[in-house]
Amino acid sequence: MSHANIGVVGLAVMGSNLARNLASREGNRVAVYNRSWDKTEHLVDAHPEANFVAAKSIQEFAASLSTPRTAIIMVKAGAGTDAVIDQLCEVFEPGDIIVDGGNALFTDTIRREKAVRETGINFVGAGISGGEEGALLGPSIMPGGSAEAWETLGPILRSIAAVVDGEPCVTHIGTDGAGHFVKMIHNGIEYADMQLIAEAYDLIRRGTGKSPAEIADVFTEWNKGELESYLIEITAEVLRQVDAATGKPLVDVIVDEAGSKGTGVWTVQTALSLGTPVSGIAEAVFARGLSSHPEQRSLAKSFPGPYAFTVKDADAFIEDVRQALYASKIVAYSQGFDAIRAGADEYNWHINLGEVARIWRGGCIIRAQFLNPITEAYRANESLALLMAAPYFAKAVSGAQAAWRRVVIAATEAGIPAPAFGSSLSYYDGLRADRLPAAVIQGQRDFFGAHTYKRIDKPGTFHTLWSGDRTEIAAEDTH
Binding segment for ligand NBP (CB under 6 A), chosen from 24-32, 125-133, 208-216, 341-349, is 125-133
Which residue number, 84 or 265, has a Cβ lying nearer to ligand NBP? 84
Which residue number, 69 or 210, has a Cβ lying nearer to ligand NBP? 69
The distance in angstroms from the start CA to the end CA of the chain is: 75
Shortest-Cβ-distance residue relative to ligand NBP: 102
Contact between 177 and ligand NBP by CB under 6 A: the answer reads: no
Active-site choice (56, 76, 118, 183) = 183
Contact between 102 and ligand NBP by CB under 6 A: the answer reads: yes
Min dist. Cβ of residue 263 to ligand NBP (A) = 9
Active-site choice (190, 199, 210, 283) = 190
- Sequence-distant contacts of 240-248: CB under 8 A, at least 24 apart: 240/212, 240/213, 240/216
DSSP 450-462: ---B--SSSSS-E
Which residue number, 34 or 323, has a Cβ lying nearer to ligand NBP? 34
Contact between 178 and ligand NBP by CB under 6 A: the answer reads: no
Rounded Cα distance between 41 and 212, Å, is 43
**190 included as an active-site residue:** yes
At 292, phi and psi to the nearest 5?
Answer: -90, 20
Per-position x/- string for 14-53, each x denoting binding to ligand NBP as judged by CB under 6 A, each - no binding? xx------------------xxx--x--------------
Which residue number, 287 or 365, has a Cβ lying nearer to ligand NBP? 365
Rounded Cα distance between 35 and 222, Å, is 46
Min dist. Cβ of residue 366 to ligand NBP (A) = 13
Min dist. Cβ of residue 80 to ligand NBP (A) = 3
Q: Lay out the sheet containing 140-143: strands in order across.
A: 53-54, 30-33, 6-9, 70-73, 97-100, 122-129, 140-143
Q: Across the chain, which distance is largest between two alpha carbons, in Å?
A: 88
Rounded Cα distance between 165 and 316, Å, is 35
Give the binding-site size for ligand NBP (rule: CB under 6 A): 22
Q: Which of residues 402-421 bind ligand NBP (CB under 6 A)?
A: none
**183 included as an active-site residue:** yes
Min dist. Cβ of residue 84 to ligand NBP (A) = 5
Angle at Cα 401 formed by Cα 400 and Cα 407, nearest 5°? 95
Cβ-in-10-Å burial (0-12, 13-18, 19+) of 291 comes to: middle
Contact between 143 and ligand NBP by CB under 6 A: the answer reads: no
Contact between 436 and ligand NBP by CB under 6 A: the answer reads: no
Binding segment for ligand NBP (CB under 6 A), chosen from 51-59, 112-120, 124-132, 409-417, is 124-132
97-100 vs 122-129, strand pairing mode = parallel
Residues tagged active-site? 183, 190
